């Protein structure tokens, strides 16, 4: 290629310039500023570099925008929003049902209690506020449920092997903790094993605590239901297969049931230790 990225582009077409920066290439270096001036793209080299800066900034913004709109990033937003809604709903449910108890002798507790209170008819301004807040709690809980359904439906299309092995919600949380599917795919299995246990890991590195055996993968039945002495082995086995699953999902995307079968066989071998 002998023409620069600016070839055939109007100097005022910022979008076309950004696209050229992102998609263009050259087989060898050249004196591009001089060529830009000779072609009439810029009046001098200073103007060329000004136009180049504008184009590269636009290209970077477009790349960030595309990355944020990617399926795994949207999944991250969904799982974080779901967790926030669940956490906020539970916290507010405690508050509103405690408050309701000062007005109603039979006030129930929890999310279901808030739903029940929300259906009452207020007789005082204070009861109006209690009932209105109960309705907000119920709404947050409903939104959390809707987001969970979205996560369960979407994760298998974003990371089919990870979703099959970890379950859609845990798979989405692992992707979120890693910052994306590509980032998760590049993590060593030891890091995947302790994702979500960063505080415990830092405490261990500072010399004040034992090394954590697992992070959020503890919620997986293969680890949670394993006898305590074997949980570390189960966590390592699970993390190893989850890492492979993430790599397959990112680099190829085809579903490989054999990964799940291999994991099940490994877990059965670990369980069998208690019977020997």
User: Which DSSP string do the residues of 180-249 spell out, in sequence order?
Assistant: SHHHHHTS-HHHHHTTT-HHHHHHHHTTSSPPPS-SGGGGSHHHHTS-GGGHHHHHHHHHHHHHHHHHHH
pLDDT attached to residue 22: 79
pTM of the model: 0.75
Angle at 27 between CA 25 and CA 28, to 5 degrees: 110
Per-residue pLDDT at 30 exceeds 90: no
Residue 127: how many other CB atoms lie within 10 Å = 16
What SS3 class is residue 66? helix
Given a cut of 70, whether residue 66 has pLDDT beyond it is no
Predicted confidence at residue 1, as pLDDT, reads 44
The Cα 258–Cα 32 span in angstroms is 52
Distance CA 123, CA 118 (A): 13
Residue 68 has a pLDDT of 60
CATH superfamily label, 159-275: Nop domain (1.10.246.90)
Whether residue 242 contacts residue 165, with contact meaning beta carbons closer than 8 Å, is answered with: yes
CATH topology of domain 71-156: Helix Hairpins (1.10.287)
Tens digit of each residue's pLDDT (9 = 90 or more) over 208-252: 667 777 889 999 999 999 998 899 999 999 999 999 999 999 998
């Amino acid at each position: 290629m002998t023409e620069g990225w600016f070839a055939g582009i109007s100097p005022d077409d910022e979008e076309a310039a950004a696209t050229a920066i992102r998609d263009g290439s050259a087989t060898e270096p050249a004196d591009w500023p001089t060529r830009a001036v000779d072609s009439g793209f810029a009046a001098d080299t200073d103007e060329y570099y000004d136009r180049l800066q504008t184009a590269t900034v636009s290209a970077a913004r477009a790349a960030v925008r595309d990355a944020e709109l990617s399926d795994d990033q949207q999944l991250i937003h969904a799982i974080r929003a779901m967790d926030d809604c669940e956490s906020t709903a539970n916290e507010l449910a405690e508050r509103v049902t405690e408050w309701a108890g000062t007005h109603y002798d039979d006030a129930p507790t929890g999310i279901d209690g808030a739903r029940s209170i929300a259906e009452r008819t207020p007789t005082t301004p204070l009861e109006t506020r209690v009932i209105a807040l109960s309705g907000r709690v119920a709404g947050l809980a409903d939104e959390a449920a809707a987001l969970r359904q979205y996560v369960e439906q979407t994760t298998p299309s974003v990371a089919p092997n990870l979703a099959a092995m970890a379950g859609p919600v845990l798979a989405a949380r692992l992707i979120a903790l890693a910052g994306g599917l590509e980032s998760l795919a590049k993590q060593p299995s030891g890091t995947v094993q302790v994702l979500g246990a960063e505080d415990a890991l830092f405490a261990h590195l500072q010399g004040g605590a034992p090394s954590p055996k697992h992070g959020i993968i503890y919620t997986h039945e293969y680890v949670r239901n394993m006898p305590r002495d074997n949980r570390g082995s189960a966590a390592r086995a699970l993390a190893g297969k989850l890492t492979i699953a993430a790599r397959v999902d990112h680099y190829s995307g085809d579903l490989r049931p054999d990964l799940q079968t291999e994991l099940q066989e490994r877990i059965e071998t670990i369980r069998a230790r208690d019977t020997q």
